[in-house]
Amino acid sequence: MYAVIMAGGKGTRFWPKSRERMPKHLLDIVSPRTIIQETIERIAPLIPEENILIVTGESHADELMKQVPHIPKENIIIEPLGRNTAPCIGLAALHIRRKSPHDVMVVLPADHLIHDAPRFRHLLSAAADMAGRGDFLVTIGIRPTSPETGYGYIEKGDLKTAVNGENIYTVKSIREKPPLKQAKAFLKKGGFYWNSGMFAWNIDAILDAVEKWLPKVQAGLEQIAGTMGTAGEKETVRRVYNEFPSISIDYGVMEKADNILLIEGDFGWSDMGSWDALWEASGKDENGNAANCRDLFVGVDARNSLIHSPRKLVTLLGVEDLIVVDTEDALLICKRGSSQDVKKVVEILEAKKKKEYL
């Protein structure tokens, strides 16, 4: 079994802490280790380091390699530019096919928070076991706790079988990120799960699916495959990536395929998609405040706020529901619940050509 960790990103969701050269998976905002280090440590008892591949971007590849020196350098796959998850997964599948053409690969985002690592490994093993039994695309779904509009949804079908004591279901449909009214309807109806972006499949199954549903991506992958291991590989990858459509594996394949299976992931999951998500996942004081360094935070009549300031004292007086993030060159203050809009700040900085803050 191989693991592919998708470690791209533009560093927008956790601005100003994250930047183009330091996206969130390279940050230590959850624990003393960075999120990518946590991700690798979580799967290490299940998958040996030589079977872990990381797909990352040029702008932060050097920093990633510094953080994970135990991963073989040839297992760090560098994309010349981001083209969403379908090309990323396809390229990783080509690399695995050269080593073990009929093996199973699990696909994991680099930046998720998972509380119960042993349970996660058990379910991932069950998903991989099922993927190895045939032409199946197995996805891990998360039981929703609220009508989130930032996630895709998976509609559970009939029970297909059980693997290692875990139920595996067919899938009726996969829906892209819905409007709020539809998300509420999904929760009311029941049988819908959040799409975690974690998958298991054998190499043949995913490459056959890409060939069937994404012929333009497949054509580019064939060009890359023809030059892999040669002096022309890097140039070919760059040229092909400039021609690739930007498309997710969910929209490009999973929504169309009829061989999707679902396993429920009940291991305490967060996609850590915003400062709000970090507040939700963090330990809090008696007033609901989450501070990454409590001896540098003083709150007086201050409640339900996130404070991230590693080096500077922050005091809050008579306020609530704030997010305060201080870095060496930038300060973010926003209302809790609106941190998804941090990307708008980044867009304005880009338009003003303030590259030193990006």
CATH of the domain at 48: 3.90.550.10
Residues 258 and 309 in one domain: no
Q: What is the pLDDT of residue 10?
A: 81
Q: Are residues 263 and 282 in the same domain?
A: no
Residue 237 shares a structural domain with residue 294: no
Judgement on whether residues 259 and 309 belong to the same structural domain of the protein: no
Among the three residues 219, 246, 270, which one is the final residue of a domain in this structure?
Answer: 270
Domain boundary among 239, 270, 301: 270
Residues 220 and 266 in one domain: yes
Q: In this predicted structure, what is the pLDDT of residue 349?
A: 94
Residues 184 and 305 both lie in one domain: no
Report the pLDDT value the prediction gives residue 78, as an integer from 0 to 100: 96
**What is the predicted pLDDT for the residue at 310?**
83
Number of domains in the chain: 2
Structure confidence at residue 294 (pLDDT): 66
End-of-domain residue from the set 270, 303, 326: 270
Residue type, 68: V
The reported pLDDT for the residue numbered 185 is 94
What pLDDT, on the 0 to 100 scale, is given for residue 205?
97
Instruction: Say yes or no: 236 and 287 in one domain.
Output: no
Enclosing domain of residue 316: 275-357
Do 254 and 289 belong together in one domain? no
Q: Are residues 53 and 159 in the same domain?
A: yes
Same domain, residue pair 304 and 350: yes
Indicate if 296 and 186 belong to the same structural domain.
no
279 and 131 co-located in one domain: no
pLDDT of residue 150: 83
List, run by run, the mean pLDDT of 10-residue segments along the chain (358 residues): 93 90 89 92 96 95 95 96 96 96 95 94 97 96 90 95 96 90 93 96 97 96 95 96 95 94 95 89 92 86 94 94 95 92 92 92
The pTM of this model reads 0.92
